Amino acid sequence: MTSRRGRRLVPARLGLRDVAQVGSAGLRGRPVRVVLSALGIAIGIATMIAVVGISASSKAKLMRDLDRLGTNMLVVTPGQSFFADKEVKLPKSSPRMVGRIDGVEQVAATGGIGDVRVYRSEHIPKERTGGIKVNAATQSLKNTLRGSMATGTWLNGATGAYPSVVLGHSAAKRLGITEAGQRIWLGDEYYTVLGVLQPLPLAPEIDSSALVGWEAARKRLGFDGHPTTLYERSADDEVARVRELLARTVNPEAPHEVMVSDPSAALQAKTASEGAFSSLLLGLGGVALLVGGVGIANTMIISVLERKHEIGLRRSFGSTRGQIRIQFVTESLMLSGLGGLAGVALGALATSVYAGATSMPWTIPPWAPAGGFGATLVIGTIAGLYPAVRASKMSPTLALHAS
């Protein structure tokens, strides 16, 4: 038999339920302090989730626009001549010549009419142009740009020969035009507004333009017939080959005076540039998260000082130092976890509101809330270690007398 004197007392183990109960006891007793302490963590996580979500939503919108508008469009404009005093123009026949290139599916052109201005009425002072340019446009322009009408109709063979105009999205706003059928003063007479275009991300220059038919521009506005911009669409697998042929086809005598560009590259560059800006905002969110962690550590230290009597009683009834450490680390984890959950919810809500206000698809990568919540748990553990160790080292006798 083993004598009673030889036995060792073994402290009871704390189960998960016990750990949760003792860890949450301090939170239940100080709800206001809990809310204020968790607020710092919540702000940091909400900032990070919102930044990632808004950036992802913006990229999703850009990719959706690229899928809709296509990346198979090239733009041809006049380049520069070797002679500084020479004005470079695209040949009148260039739209027809580009259309003959094998692989080209659509061709459209616009021609600037430099001396003509457009106003809301003939009573507007001449100097108040509003930055609106007047351009002649071929009938194929809307389809080539894959544009759509916000209101009204596009130019056709009949209306394109008469004093009628289609306004770009920005031009209509500047003129105060909200619907088709209204009239504006263009050149020396009134033109009827046939319609207003939706914004064109691949051709922003059209947004601030007033577009008249090619024939009407020549007969009524003195247009010389030389296009200033060509828009060309080809099969996706033919874009590179067509690009090599465009300059020589448009102007065989001086291909160096022709500039060919890819407007979709600007949207792709915008998608890439948003990542750098998001990294900066993520850094700011990380700073807020660290500040929240410092706040939790401070709260836990104060909690330890205020609860010396409780610590002394638990130690007197047999709680080990390890169990005291677990209690305060668990409390810190719960505090940061509450802040993390609130932050994820607030960040998702902010992203949803912004996406709805800007007509973007609501997108949050799954790793963002998971990573954000995981970061709060790590910070909660680190913030609770020192207070937990300090609490576990208290002498039960001194702790009881300090109350």
184-224 residue pLDDT tens: 999 889 999 999 999 988 888 999 999 999 999 999 998 99
pLDDT at 367: 84
Question: What is the spatial distance between Cα 49 and Cα 342, in angstroms, rounded to a whole number?
Answer: 11
What is the pLDDT averaged over residues 309-321? 74
Residue 121 DSSP one-character state: S
> In the beta sheet, which residues pair with residue 232?
74, 107
- Burial pattern 227-258, b for ≥16 Cβ within 10 A else e, equals bbbbbbbbeeebbeebbebbbebbbeeeeebb
Please check the confidence at residue 88 and state whether its pLDDT lies above 70. Answer: yes
255-302 residue pLDDT tens: 888 899 888 776 666 665 555 556 666 676 677 777 777 877 777 777
pLDDT at 2: 44
pLDDT at 9: 57
Interacting residues of 217 by C-beta distance below 8 A, sequence separation 6+: 111, 113, 136, 223
Least confident of 134-143, 188-197, 379-388: 379-388
Interacting residues of 67 by C-beta distance below 8 A, sequence separation 6+: none
Q: How deeply is 352 buried, as exposed, middle or buried, from its count of CB atoms within 10 A (0-12, 13-18, 19+)?
A: middle
Residue 104 DSSP one-character state: E
Question: What is the spatial distance between Cα 344 and Cα 58, in angstroms, rounded to a whole number?
Answer: 19
Question: What is the spatial distance between Cα 216 and Cα 228, in angstroms, rounded to a whole number?
Answer: 17
Q: How far is CA 265 from CA 31, 212, 286, 290, 349, in A?
A: 53, 28, 32, 38, 32
pLDDT band of residue 130 (cuts 50, 70, 90) is confident
What is the pLDDT averaged over residues 91-105? 91
Please check the confidence at residue 74 and state whether its pLDDT lies above 60. Answer: yes
Record the tokens describing residue 273, joined without a space.
């540039």
Angle formed at CA 46 by CA 40 and CA 48, multiple of 5 degrees: 105
- CA–centroid distance for 214 within its chain: 38
